[in-house]
Structure 1
Amino acid sequence: MIDLRINGFASGMDIDSMVRDLMKAESMPLQKMEKEKQELQWKRDDYREMNTLLLDFRSQLTQMKLTTSYRSREVSSTDESKVTATASSAANETSFKISEVKQLASSATLKNAGPITADGEEIDESKSLYPQFGKFDNQSTETWKQGAIDKQTITAESDGQVIELGEDVIDRAAMNVQVNGQGYKVVTDETATLAEDEVYVSSAGELTFADGVIQEGSQVSVEYVKDAHSESKTLESDISGYQLAGGSIVNNANFQLDIDGTTYSIGSATGEENEFNLEDADGGTIGTINTNTGRLTFDNELSEGTNLSVNYQQNYSSFSVGAHTDEGETHQNFLVTGDESLNQVVNKVNKADIGVSMMYDSFTDRMTISRTETGNFNEAGNEIMRNGTFINNMLKFGSGTEEGGDNAVFSINGIQDTERHSNNFEIDGVTFNLKQTFTEAEGPVSINVSNDSGAVFENIKEFVENYNTLIDAVNGKVNEEYYRDYGPLTDDQRESLTETQQEDWEERAKSGLLRRDSILQSGLNSMRTDFYSPVNNEGTTSDYNQLASIGITTTSNYMDGGKLEIDEAKLKAAIEDDPSAVESLFRGSSDEYGQQGVVHRLYDTVNGTMDRIYDRAGRTTSTNQQFTIGRNLNDVQEQIRSFQDRLTQIEDRYYSQFTRMEKAMQEANQQAAYMQQQFGGGMGMMG
């Protein structure tokens, strides 16, 4: 926009300065509005600061509502070498007598039948199993089979859905099927009635579960065996090698490598471990294959655009492991490829979350499977189950022996020979830990549960200290000095002050905005009443029905504004004498018998005060329209905007007036100059 204002060309006056001076007077109401806006913002922030303190104190009140703040139990044992115990806040102050422990709970452990390798042989548990198979003591021909292991994870789209793998399955009994992480036993008889932990698998790769197992969104994970792997691709760049998806490649007629129409098979050994030539029908070679790792290495680089396809089978084995546990019977099938090591097999079992752990000891060349929890969960027999030639024959668990899996047997409070699955068990809020067996003749072990009065005292003391911190802050705000002569600084005022002077001024300007505030004063008065008023409910007694009776009173200095102080000896004595009454005084709920405890009263008061502050000052996430000060800010902002528009009009009017004046003076000057010229010309002619 072109500025058409004329600035003193004719008059010689500084029009801009004159207009600025005139506008300063016109802008006085605007400065007042800006100050009002700033004060509203400061007041809003002060309120929110108070609400933050109240919120912190309410969190402390929430803690003080819990029994754990008043029932911190300590437990003693007359013989900690035999029995120890801990107690929760739910435990009563009581005692237990364990007269004997006949048997400790133990974990079931299945130990295999002997060393897994033949005499004089030694395996490397970190290397592939199939190349080391000749070192094992039991070399059953049924251990390793040929096929291709594949995996799929399918999300059920509807309840009761039949899961389809989309390809044929061989060796169905070896499949590992899990739904949401839980293993299922495979059934191959389509006429069988499925139990909840079973799945029927057809040879076409369809999985059917019992009613209710598959829900929409269920994650079904399947590891299975198909006849062969098939891979094909057109090379996108030159390559000197290719890695097959699987390892432990079988050297048989199923292996076919096709490169641009020429077929290669596994031929003669190169002399390197597990390495063979890749030969065409005429005996020509294109490279080598490591049958253990599945790595193809070419004599010459295959160029970009070459078509490569390969079909192959893997050496694989399978086994299953399960256990009787506290949550029922577990089961999982495991598929093992020949390129996996014994360590990998052990890790598979240990990570399966089926309640067992497997171990190999290289010194004795023996293995164990242990249940991860103690106790007897199968009265009819063994706790650990296993199946498959790999685990029963090759690893020799089939004829192994199981030990342990016993419940703890003990006598407590006159009850003879009760049992628990674990040496750690809970009775009435007390957790016992049986450490060794002993007889009645060796003497009973007494467990005594008492209140930890020291911990309760510290909880109450911390609560009082937090209350005093809150009272101090709120009192400071409602009694803060108000400086009437100090308001928000204008831009002109800031220019005349140093930075330090500005900070001092603003500190006074912000002070006292909530002085004698009705919301905060009302909240303070209510909290004082909450503390002072007696509490009469079912749990309190006439001796302990108000805070003063347990040694908590207001300070003698009225300037403290109702802060509390503790007579520590008196409070400790009350906690020792009647901890239940002290608890009821603080956290007792209102009921048909009487009033709320101090903590519940305070909680309601703090909540009410916070709600009133929210109504007035909102939250940081609130819009201005949702709280009183915000609406006031909107009103002031609208007034400011309207007044700024008015000032713009006034300023334009002033400039318009001065412009007309300048034009008039310019015209007058032009006329005077013309007349002077005319008169000057006439005089010359007469002369």
Structure 2
Amino acid sequence: MAGLRVGGLASGMDIDQIVGDLMKAQRIPLDKLLQKKTTFEWQRDSYRSINTKLNTLHTKLYDDFLAPNSFNKKTVSVSNDNVVSATATSAASGTLSIQKVEQLASSSYGVGSIAENTPSTKTMKELGISGDQNVKLGVLQTDGTMKDFDFSFKETDTINDVVKKINDKGAGITALYDEKSGQLSLSTKATGKSTEGAEIIDREKSGFFSSLGFADSENLASNGTNAKVTVNGAEIERNSNSFTVAGFNITLKEKTATGVAPITLSATTDVNSMVDKIKAFVSNYNDLISGMNDSLKEKKYRDFPPLTDEQRKDMTDKEQEMWDEKAKSGLLRSDSIVSSGLSDMRNAIYGKVGTGDNIIDTLAEMGITTSSAYSDGGKLVIDEEKLKKALTENPDQVVKTLINPGEKTTTEDTRGIIQRLRASMKEFTTKIETKAGKSTWTDQQYTIGKSLIDTNTRISNFQRRLEDMEARYWKQFTAMEQAISKANSQSGYLAQFGQG
């Protein structure tokens, strides 16, 4: 509980003002600690901003270059797209000839006949099925295998209920009931022929579907077909109309007519797509290093420390904004982590891939060089004509130079340039995280965080000292006021005797 404070009633002095001025001087070290804390927080956020940009480019490089079929894209021309459509993976090359599409893959279906005009609300019991029924069905799946599913039907279930239970099971069966014809259809979602001789099988011959009009108590659907096609003279059979051969993703649309000329599929490198991705990479890389170079060169205004709350009270919003802009400038000026990270990134993209005598094994040989302007800080520039020529004449070597998995040894580095750059960026990110952490980390896990903990502890201790100091000042002034008041009382009392 705070002691009694007497605010200058006896002395006539403004004790509040006096104590405030005394404390203002004592607060100067605390203000410096608070400014130091703010600087740590700003610096942490500046580092994390760089990491955000590094992670964004790191992900984009994977999406554009390393993900399957993302960079080494091929286009396919088809001589008869009424019968066949096709796309290509990076493995596709040359041509394929489809001499004949003999048969398309189809799904299997079976139909049970109950009775015409039987309402879908009729229950199993009303159809002569007594008691609850447990049925195990083997069903053809899209991967060509058979998989078993258990179904439970109650005698109180309606035809609608049975249809819903089958469709909701996720077994790969589509059930359909038509009231007018009284027919219940079961069909497989997968196409193709099962090796078991049927595509929907009642494993235990329960008789449940026989009671719903299916002629065969075991094989409920057995008329699926496989696709049959002749490719480059080889007779191929698949359980789906979409399949891959020699890197070509083929989709069959219809059977070929007798006497129709063979269908030719030709794969060519999609140069324009590759050029666009390389241009996007160069642009994103340049933006990233430009921002970091700016941070390293940014002027430091030492006469503009972070504002305290008290200082902000005396400034307009515009004045605060202008002050903060200078206070935040130069937080990473000449920073060793950023400098070394930039250097490692440059080294990653300038080096030769491997030690062989390949025609194209550097960025320069495919038309990507460093800007000659010193002020550009290592930005890349593209000779688009040279790049297109390299991709047209030797696409496989360009792809290898950029994205070869490879490995780094003491004698050579066979990793592609994109692989090297991503590895360099990952190391850079780790160094920044050690210094500035991540938003999900606690302050104990990174260097600046530990400095913040120490600064916060010093701030708390100093604030307690200031509270004690202010209490002491008030105690002293209160004692003075009380002494003056007592002296005034005694003087008045003695004055009475003098008047008598």
Distance 1:385 1:408 in 2: 22
1:565 paired with 2:384, answer no
2:87 equivalent in structure 1: 86
Question: Which residue in the other structure is 1:583 paired with?
Answer: 399
Determine the C-alpha separation between the residues in 1 that align with 2:239 and 2:121. 39
- 1:426-575 → structure 2 map (5 Å cutoff): 426-438=244-256, 441-536=259-354, 542-575=358-391
Identify the match of residue 422 of structure 1 among 234, 240, 262. 240
SS at match of 1:175: strand
Comparing 558-567 with 46-55, greater Cα deviation is found at: 558-567
Question: Hey, what does 2:14 align to over in structure 1?
Answer: 14
**8 Å CA contact 1:99, 1:440 repeated in 2:** no
Deviation at 1:350, TM superposition (A): 4.0
Determine the structure 2 residue equivalent to 1:126: 120
**Equivalent in the alignment of 1:46:** 46
Q: Which has the higher strand share?
A: 1
In 1, Cα distance between equivalents of 2:107 and 2:180 = 23
* Map of 1:106 onto structure 2: 106
CA distances 1:123-153 after superposition (whole Å, capped 9, x unpaired):
143332579x7xxxxxxxxx61544x3xxxx
User: What's the counterpart of residue 374 of structure 1?
Assistant: 191
In the alignment, the residues of structure 1 paired with residue 76 and residue 364 of structure 2 have an alpha-carbon distance, to the nearest angstrom, of 31
Distance 1:73 1:488 in 2: 56
Mapped to 1, the partners of 2:418 and 2:200 lie a distance apart of 53
**Residue-pair matches, total:** 491
Percent same amino acid at aligned positions? 37
Q: CA deviation at 1:384?
A: 4.8
Aligned pair in 2 of structure 1 residues 662, 582: CA closer, same or farther (>3 Å)? Answer: same
Q: 1:497 & 1:478 partners in 2: Cα distance?
A: 30
Residue 618, structure 1, aligned to residue 437, structure 2: yes
Residue identity in the other structure for 2:455: V
Q: Deviations over 1:405-436 (max 9, x none)?
A: 33333322222x33222222222332222233
**Deviation sequence 1:538-568 (CA, Å, 0-9, x none):** 7xx6331111211222334433322222222
After superposing the two structures, state which structure 1 stretch, 654-663 or 558-567, moved more: 654-663
- Could you tell me which residue of structure 2 aligns to residue 144 of structure 1? 128
Deviations 1:618-675 (A, max 9, x none): 2222222222222222222222233333333333343344344444444544454454
In 2: Cα distance, 1:324 partner to 1:46 partner = 57
- 1:457-490 deviation line (CA, Å, top 9, x unaligned): 2222222222122123222322223222212223
Partner of 1:655: 474
* C-alpha spacing 1:393/1:481, structure 2 compared with 1 (3 Å): same
Partner of residue 600, structure 1: 419
2-structure distance, mates of 1:583, 1:448: 20
- Higher share in helix: 2
- Counterpart-to-counterpart distance in 1, 2:468 and 2:198: 98
Q: Judge conservation of contact 1:537–1:596 (CA < 8 Å) in 2.
A: no
**Alpha-carbon spacing, 1:126–1:419, altered in 2? closer, same or farther (3 Å):** same
Mapped to 2, the partners of 1:324 and 1:609 lie a distance apart of: 51
**Residue type matched to 2:388 in 1?**
K
User: How big is each residue's C-alpha offset from its partner over 1:336-378, in whole Å with a ceiling of 9 and x where there is no partner?
Assistant: 536613x444444444445444444556555544343333324
Distance 1:670-1:587 versus aligned 2 partners, 3 A rule: same
Residues 353 and 10 (structure 1), Cα distance of their counterparts in 2 relative to 1, 3 Å cut: closer
Contact kept in structure 1, 2:243 and 2:249, CA below 8 Å: yes
Q: 1:676 to 1:442 in 2, by over 3 A?
A: closer
CA distance in 2, matches of 1:7, 1:57: 64
Structure 2 vs 1, CA of residues 581 and 657 (structure 1 numbering), >3 Å: closer, same or farther? same
The correspondence of residues 609-648 of structure 1 with structure 2, limited to 5 A, is: 609-648=428-467
Q: Shift of the alpha carbon at 1:333?
A: 6.0
Partners in 1 of 2:329 and 2:85 — Cα distance?
60
Letter in 2 for 1:79: N
- Rounded to whole Å, the distance in 2 between the matches of 1:324 and 1:8 is 96
Change (3 A) 1:11 1:335: closer
**Deviation by residue 1:148-173 (Cα, 9 ceiling, x = unmatched):** x3xxxxxxxxxxxxxxxxxxxxxxxx
What is the match of residue 284 of structure 1?
A: none
CA distance in 2, matches of 1:628, 1:458: 41
Report the 3-state secondary structure (helix = DSSP H, G, I; strand = E; otherwise coil) of the residue aligned with 1:456: helix
Shift of 1:80: 1.5
Tell me the secondary structure at the aligned position of residue 122 of structure 2.
Answer: coil
Is this contact kept in 2: 1:69–1:459, CA < 8 A? Answer: no
Pairwise CA distance, 1:537: 5.8
Alignment match of 1:412 (pick from 224, 227, 231):
231
Distance 1:384 1:643 in 2: 80
Could you tell me which residue of structure 2 aligns to residue 77 of structure 1?
A: 78
Letter in 2 for 1:62: Y
Name the counterpart of 2:56.
56
Shift of 1:12: 2.2
Equivalent pair of 1:103/1:407 in contact (CA under 8 Å): yes
Contact 1:324 1:330 in 2 (8 A): no
Cα offset, 1:583, TM superposition: 1.6
Identify the residue that residue 159 of structure 1 maps to in structure 2. Answer: none
User: Which runs of 5 or more structure 2 residues have no equivalent in the other structure?
Assistant: none
CA displacement at 1:494 relative to structure 2:
2.2
Contact 1:39–1:488 at 8 Å: present in 2 too? yes
Higher Cα Rg: structure 1 or 2? Answer: 1
Q: What residue identity is the alignment partner of 1:608?
A: E
2 CA distance for matches of 1:356 and 1:5?
A: 86
* Structure 1: gaps of 5 or more residues: 134-142, 150-173, 177-182, 184-320, 682-687
CA distance in 2 between counterparts of 1:520 and 1:378 reads 62
Q: Partners in 1 of 2:9 and 2:260 — Cα distance?
A: 120
Q: Which SS does the other structure have where 1:406 is aligned?
A: coil
* Pairs within 5 Å for 1:338-377: 340-341=158-159, 343-361=160-178, 366=183, 368-377=185-194
Determine the C-alpha separation between the residues in 2 that align with 1:324 and 1:659: 94
Structure 2 CA distance, aligned partners of 1:431 and 1:372? Answer: 21
* CA 1:17–1:372: 2 relative to 1, 3 Å: closer
Letter in 2 for 1:88: T
Structure-2 separation of matches of 1:93 and 1:515: 51
Question: Is the CA contact 2:352–2:361 (under 8 Å) kept in the aligned structure 1?
Answer: yes
Separation (CA, whole Å) in 1 of partners of 2:361 and 2:311: 59
- Label 1:175 to 1:510 Cα distance change in 2 as closer, same or farther (>3 A): same
**Aligned-CA RMSD value:** 3.2
Q: Distance in 2 between matches of 1:71 and 1:489?
A: 54
Following superposition of structure 1 onto structure 2, how do residues 262-281 of structure 1 map, counting pairs within 5 Å?
Answer: none
Q: Distance in 2 between matches of 1:676 and 1:402?
A: 125
Q: Distance in 1 between matches of 2:312 and 2:93?
A: 69
Structure 2 residue 134 is matched with structure 1 residue 175 = yes
Question: Which amino acid counterpart does residue 451 of structure 2 have in structure 1?
Answer: N
1:19/1:654 contact within 8 Å kept: yes
Question: Which secondary structure does the structure 2 equivalent of 1:481 belong to?
Answer: coil
Give the TM-score of the pair, scaled to structure 1. Answer: 0.64
Q: TM-score, normalised by structure 2?
A: 0.86
Deviation at 1:324, TM superposition (A): 5.8
